[in-house]
Structure 1
Amino acid sequence: MSSNYVQNIAVVGAGGTQGKFVAEELVKTGKHKVTAITRADSSGKIPDGVASKVVDYNDTSSLVEALRGQDVLIITMAVTAPKDTQQKLVDAAKEAGVKIVLPNEWGYDQDRNASFAKENLIGERIIQAREYVTSKGLPFIGICGGFWYEFSLGGGEVRYGFDIANRQFTRFDDGNIKLSTSTWEQVGRGTAALLSLKLNRDNENDKEPVISDYFNKSVCIESFNVSQNDMFESLKRVTGTTDADWKITTENSQERYFRGLGLLKEGNFAGFAIGLYTRAFYPDSAGTMPNTVNKTFNLPQEDLDECTKGAIEFAKTTKGY
C-alpha cells in the first residue's frame, strides 16, 4: 500500500453467490484493482472489470504468486469447500505480504453470543478461522450480513420456514422473533464502503472512520430486521394472498433445532439447514445484530416487498418449485 488507501484486492469466489456482488461493488467504486483468485476448473463467471489469476490449491507457490502485491484478501467460499482451503489461503497471504484478510464468514456476529456461536453449527468454525488469521500476525475483519434474504426466504421450508411454491408456512413458536437479514447487494455495498475508507487516520484531529477501526472485529450489515410474521405479511402483499391461501403450521423452535441435528446425524444434510436457521430464531434473539454499520457507511434502505419478489423469483430456480 503506497498510500493510506487499499488499492489491490483479491477475491476468492468472485464468480460465486456472495463474492460476485462483493467484486462488482468494489469495481463500482473506481478505487480498487480487483483480482479474482480462481481454480482452473472453476465454472463461475467473473464480473466485468475484474482481473483473474488461476491457482492450484495444492501448490503453495501458485497461491503465493497470485496474492503477491495484494493489499486485501477476501474469502468467499461455499460450506462444502475443503476445510483446509482457507488455511492454505491465509498461509499464502502471509507469505505474499497481504495486509488484511476478510475470512469466509458472511453470516452472524459470533462474538456477541457464546451459546449461539457454539450451537449454530458454523460459529466455532468461524471463530477458529479468525484465530488462525491472527496467529499468522494478520488482522481480520469479519463481514456479517446475517442470512441472505432472497436465498433464505425463497430456498424452501428448511430455511426461513416457507415453501413458496406450495404456499406452506411453518411458524417457529409465535413467529415474532426478529433477525438481521441482508441481500447479496447490501453486503457487497457494505464491504466496498469499508474498503474505500482510509486505512488509518491522518492525525489526531481526524475523526472519520477508518479501516483499522475494524481490525479483529465484526462489521455488521443488514437489509432488514424482520420476523417470520413480517416476512409472511410481505409475501401475502406481493402475491395478493391471505392466510386462507396458505397451509400454516407451528413448530417449537427448540424441538425443530434438535430435529435438524438428528437428521444431520442420519446423513440428511437438510438437517444442517434446519439446525442452522432455527437457532437464529430462538427467544434469545441471537439472530439480531444491533450494532450495524448501515448509517456509518451510508447504506441505502431497501424495499422489503421488492426483495420478497426477488425471493419468489429465486424460489423458481430451486428444486421443488
Structure 2
Amino acid sequence: MSPYSNVALIGASISTSRGGGNLGQSILKALLASRFNVTVLSRAESTTKFDPTVKLSRQDALVLAVGSASLDFQKEIIDIAVEVGVKRIIPSEFGSDLTNEATLKAVPVYQQKVDIMEYLKKAVASHPQTTWTSIVSGPFYDWALCGPPAFPAGKYKNQYIFISEYTICQNDIFAAVQQATGTTVSDWKVEHCDAEALRKKGYERVEKEDFYGLYDLIFAAHFQAGHGAEFSTIRKLENKAIRLEGEGESLLDCTKRVLSEI
C-alpha cells in the first residue's frame, strides 16, 4: 500500500490570473482517477468548481501547479508544508530541463523557477521528514496530461526525474498535421525561421515590454540544439518505472484529437 493517500493540489484553478497554471485541471482529474484523497487549495476569490469528491484531509503529498504569476507564492506554501510534515512536495516545474545552463541563458525568466527549487532544497534540508521530486517533462504537446501515472512513493526522493513521450521536431509536427488533415505541403504556406533569430526577436520584444516575446524565447530554446529539450537522448527516462510507456496517444492520434477540439 502506498504511504501516500492524501494529496493536496494548488493551482487547479482554470484562471491563470487566480494562480492556476495550464496543467492544474488535468492533474486534478488524474489524481481523482487514481483514487487519492484530494484536497484542492485555492485563493478566496477563485470561482472554479471542483469535483464533489474532493475533500479536506491531512496531507501526505503536495503538488504545486501554479502559473508563472504565482511562482513566488510557492515559498509561503513550502514553509507551511515542511512545518506540518508533508512527506513529498512536487514543485511547479513540469517543463524544461532547468539543470541545463544553456536553457537558463536562453530563457532568463526560468531563473525564478531555479530560485524556487533552491528554496525548496534548503527547506527540506532542515526538515528531513519532507522530501521533494521535480518532474522534467519537456513541453506538453497538447498542454494536457495523458493519464494518471503510478508514482512509486519510495523512489525519487530529493531528485529530478525525466519523462518524455515524444522527442520531435517541428517537421514531425507538420507531418502529423498533414496526415491528420489529409493535406500536403503544397496546401500550406511554410515559413522557415532560424532558432537563434527567433531568440533574438524574443529578447527585443521583451525589452519593449511585449511579453509575448517570452514565447519566442521558449520556443527557440526548445528547438535549438544544446538547450536541454533533447534530454531524452542524454538522460535516463523514468517512463517505464512510473508506467507511462504505452499509456499515451501516438503523435498522430494526439494531433487528430487536438485538431478536433479547435
TM-score band (shorter)?
Answer: 0.7 to 0.9
CA contact (8 A) 2:206 2:214 kept: yes
Q: Distance in 1 between matches of 2:165 and 2:138?
A: 9
Aligned to 2:87: 99
Q: Deviation digits for residues 46-75 of structure 1, max 9, x if unmatched?
A: 2453226xxxxxxxxxxxxxxx82111110
- 5+ long unaligned stretches in structure 2: 15-21, 125-129
What RMSD in Å do the two structures reach over aligned CA positions?
2.1
Deviation at 1:95, TM superposition (A): 2.2
Aligned to 1:173: none
Aligned to 2:17: none
Q: Deviation digits for residues 12-50 of structure 1, max 9, x if unmatched?
A: 0224431222222222222x2111001121132324532
Aligned to 2:114: 127
Alignment partner of 1:282 is 2:229: no
TM-score of the superposition, structure 2-length normalised?
A: 0.85
Alignment of 1:149-298 (within 5 A): 149-151=141-143, 184-186=144-146, 189-190=148-149, 193-194=150-151, 197=152, 199=153, 210-211=154-155, 214-284=156-226, 286-290=228-232, 291-298=236-243
Aligned to 2:104: 117
Match of 2:53 among 49, 57, 60: 49
Match of 1:145 among 125, 137, 141: 137
Distance 1:292 1:110, change over 3 A: same
For residue 141 of structure 1, give the secondary structure of its aligned residue in structure 2.
strand
- 5+ long unaligned stretches in structure 1: 53-67, 152-183, 200-209, 317-321
Alignment partner of 1:306 is 2:253: yes
TM-score of the superposition, structure 1-length normalised?
A: 0.71
**AA partner of residue 140 (structure 2):** W
Q: Distance in 1 between matches of 2:248 and 2:174?
A: 20
Q: Where in structure 1 do 4 or more consecutive aligned residues deviate above 4 Å?
A: none
Aligned to 2:11: 13
For residue 231 of structure 2, give the secondary structure of its aligned residue in structure 1.
coil
Q: Distance in 1 between matches of 2:105 and 2:198?
A: 17
What is the count of residue pairs matched by the alignment? 245
**AA partner of residue 263 (structure 1):** R
CA contact (8 A) 1:140 1:215 kept: yes
**AA partner of residue 239 (structure 1):** T
For residue 115 of structure 1, give the secondary structure of its aligned residue in structure 2.
helix
**AA partner of residue 148 (structure 2):** R
Match of 2:72 among 73, 81, 84: 84
Q: Deviation digits for residues 270-301 of structure 1, max 9, x if unmatched?
A: 10111112111112262123222111222224
**Structure with more of its chain in strand, by fraction:** 1
For residue 77 of structure 1, give the secondary structure of its aligned residue in structure 2.
coil
**AA partner of residue 206 (structure 2):** L
Q: Deviation digits for residues 132-153 of structure 1, max 9, x if unmatched?
A: 11211242211222112124xx
